[in-house]
Chain A
């Protein structure tokens, strides 16, 4: 489904971050030796979610083209199968985690680009979130290196 309104984009973003939080929390439960790192990553996604949604709530005005502000983002482009499988190894789960970060980063960059010039605070918040996800990726890459 393609979304155009600011509200729909924000809800989609919220859902993506919620899924990521849930996924990292599940990883934290599955790999107790890496519990801290995964709990931190879950917390980071929660924080980013709040940051972006807050920028929207505080930045939205009756002036901005809120109903027409996004060029149309397709939800299916960002969908990931996130169900944690018992028989999957740490390496496989870390690769999946990297995919989560990559997809959410891409969403943030696309949302930032398509809202630029109309809702500048929101566009910046998405950019900031994408930057922080790159940091998350580095943490995961390090863990993957150690696991291999």
Chain B
């Protein structure tokens, strides 16, 4: 099958977007951005420093008073304009995402759609931002709540959803009257660069939305900067909990840190087999296992050996026939990992699993690529059997196309095992029983629960959940949680003489 056309033709030297202008970073240090499927150089991204962050914060702070006074209706109209531009560039954005990340084009489009969905929800800010009131709390006295913006916010984005994740936050922050700074991942900075080209075209006033490329120094500067009121972070638990949450909170900022995961997918003996297998493939191997909602551990419930063997053989059969290649080839079902270093990390877990005594029944290290592409970042699908909960492959986040299969006696043992884990991002149950699924959703300690859905990704008008080591903070991204995160409630008690 022929490849879809690549929208990126030339190697770009990226710039920051500050105060409504494309601005060279103060740094001389640039890092290569590489297409993980072809290993071709796509761009050079500046690894900016604290001075660049200062410029962004200064611009955002200067823009804030006027933007805050812009009516919510007028603010929302900027997002209507942006939405139109995003629709017009839908395909280009999706392909850029595939080129820099490696995910297949369907996944790139799915990501673009979810990002746009957040912009759509934010256009409803005149309704979403409303407060509430009560007359006559005492004789002739009324009380009301108003929601007000706070100032400058920033987002530290991950590599795995380079277009969508900043849109879990930015539209809500800006539509509620704050000003904003986005720091994309230096591994995948091109989707945000494209988005900012459209933000520029939509005509947002200078300083309202800014972007600074970089790595740890920029993160550190954002966390410490006194001019920033709050931080939204998506990434690993180590960085989210030990650095972002602690440091930002210590500097008096609001924080929402959405972190790592080790998700259990549960198959009950009464599951609808074929539909469940298809959902499992997408969950474990979609986006090459590089999403915080990806399945990691497959729990097959019950002591019926026949069911276990037949179900597992279908899973192995489906996993082994997944077509691997460049995501712009439409026949491909799984792309490469985003970088060589990530492949190295995943293969080291495969080796560790074998050393720990798990049985590797499908070895992803042996794979076939559709088309003539360098193997650097590619890895096939792996499945481990005879995994026990104490093994590293069952406990730690692998972030790759590896499934660990565990057997459990019954639903009680299943829930207990899931709740014993340190993460609580996502889980799913496959069953035909309403009773079992209700018990599961009631008792399981995870922020996103799927019932016969392998990737329970919340729509933009719902918060993106997460518990335990998967989330630090109180209010989540997306929807009404995001509106609350980016606003302060002021309570007024009024009497007129």
Chain A interface (Cβ < 8 Å from any Cβ of B): 1, 3-8, 11, 57-69, 117-118
User: A11-B330, A57-B113 in contact; A66/B106 too (CB < 8 A)?
Assistant: yes
Docked complex Cα distance between A67 and B283 (Å): 11
Query: How far does the Cβ of B301 sit from chain A's closest Cβ, in whole Å?
Result: 22
**In whole angstroms, how far apart are the Cα atoms of A101 and B296 in the complex?**
45
B90: interface (CB < 8 Å): yes
Does B282 lie within 8 Å of A66, measured CB to CB?
A: yes
16 contacts between A and B (CB under 8 A): A1-B331, A3-B330, A4-B323, A7-B105, A7-B330, A58-B113, A61-B457, A61-B459, A62-B113, A63-B110, A63-B457, A65-B278, A66-B109, A67-B107, A68-B278, A68-B281
Question: Which 3 pairs across A and B sit closest by C-beta, in order of nearness?
Answer: A66-B106, A65-B282, A62-B110
Decide: A5 and B114 in contact? CB cutoff 8 A: no
Whether the pair B330, A61 counts as a contact (CB closer than 8 A) is no
Interface residues of chain B, those whose CB is within 8 Å of chain A, are 1, 90, 104-107, 109-111, 113-114, 161, 164, 275, 278-279, 281-282, 286-287, 291, 318, 322-323, 330-334, 453-457, 459
The answer for the CA separation of A11 and B457 in the assembled complex, in Å, is 26
**B107, B114, B331, B453: the one within 8 Å of A66 (CB):** B107
Asked if A67 contacts B106 (CB within 8 A), the reply is yes
Chain B: CB-nearest residue to A64: B110
Cβ contact of B109, chosen from A8, A57, A63, A68, cutoff 8 A: A57
Complexed CA–CA distance, A64 and B104 (Å): 13
CB-defined contacts of B322 to chain A, threshold 8 Å: 67
CB pair A7–B104 under 8 Å, yes or no, is yes
A65-B279, A65-B454 as given contacts; A5 in contact with B113, CB under 8 Å: no
Contact of B113 among A1, A60, A67 (CB under 8 A): A60
**Which residues of chain B come closer than 8 Å to A68, judged between CB atoms?**
278, 281-282, 318, 333
**CA of A32 to CA of B333, assembled, Å:** 47
**Across-interface contacts of B111 in A (CB, < 8 A):** 62
B275 touches A67 (CB 8 A): no
B246: shortest Cβ distance to chain A, in Å? Answer: 30
Question: Which residues of chain B are within 8 angstroms of A117 by Cβ–Cβ distance?
Answer: 275
Q: Are A67 and B455 in contact (CB under 8 A)?
A: no
Complex CA distance for A57 and B334, rounded to whole angstroms: 20
Task: Compute how far the CA of A68 lies from the CA of B287 in the bound complex, rounded to whole angstroms.
Answer: 12
Partner of B333, one of A1, A4, A61: A4
Given contacts A62-B113, A64-B282, A68-B281, 18 further A-B contacts (CB under 8 A): A5-B104, A5-B106, A5-B330, A7-B109, A8-B330, A60-B106, A61-B114, A62-B455, A63-B456, A63-B457, A65-B281, A65-B286, A66-B104, A66-B109, A67-B106, A67-B107, A68-B282, A68-B333
Say which residue of B90, B286, B456 sits within 8 Å of A67 (CB atoms). Answer: B286
| B275 / chain A contacts, CB cutoff of 8 Å | 117
Q: A63-B457, A68-B281 are in contact. Are A6 and B106 (CB under 8 A)?
A: yes
In the complex, the answer to whether A60 meets B110 with C-beta atoms within 8 Å is: yes
How many whole Å from A121's CB to the nearest CB in chain B?
11
The residues of B that contact A59 with a CB separation of less than 8 Å are 113
Indicate if the CB atoms of B457 and A5 lie closer than 8 Å: no
- Whether A1 touches B106, Cβ cut-off 8 Å, given contacts A7-B330, A63-B457, A67-B286, is no
Partner of B455, one of A6, A8, A57, A63: A63
Give min CB distance, B458 to chain A, whole Å: 9
Measured between alpha carbons, how far is A65 from B106 in the docked complex, in Å? 9
Q: Which residues of B contact A4 (CB under 8 A)?
A: 323, 331, 333
Q: How far is the CB of A43 from chain B (nearest CB, A)?
A: 23
Give bound CA distance, A65 to B276, whole Å.
11
Name the residue on A nearest B282 (C-beta). Answer: A65
Q: Please indicate the chain A residues that have their CB under 8 angstroms from the CB of B334 in the complex.
A: 67
Q: Which residues of A contact B105 (CB under 8 A)?
A: 7
Kindly provide the distance from the CB of A86 to the nearest chain B CB, expressed in whole angstroms.
Answer: 31
Cα–Cα, bound, A63→B161 (Å): 13
Q: Tell whether, in the assembled complex, residue A7 and residue B1 are in contact, meaning their CB atoms are under 8 Å apart.
A: no
Chain A neighbourhood of B456, CB < 8 A:
63
Using A63-B457, A65-B454 as known contacts, say yes or no to A5 and B279 having CB atoms under 8 A apart: no
Report the minimum CB–CB distance from A94 to chain B (whole Å).
Answer: 33
On chain B, the residues within 8 Å of A67 by CB distance are 104, 106-107, 281-282, 286, 322, 333-334
Select from chain A the residue with minimum beta-carbon distance to B111: A62
- Knowing A65-B281, A67-B104, say if A5 contacts B90 (CB, 8 Å): no
Q: Do residues B331 and A69 form an inter-chain contact, with CB atoms below 8 A? A: no
Distance of A92 Cα from B119 Cα, bound (Å): 52
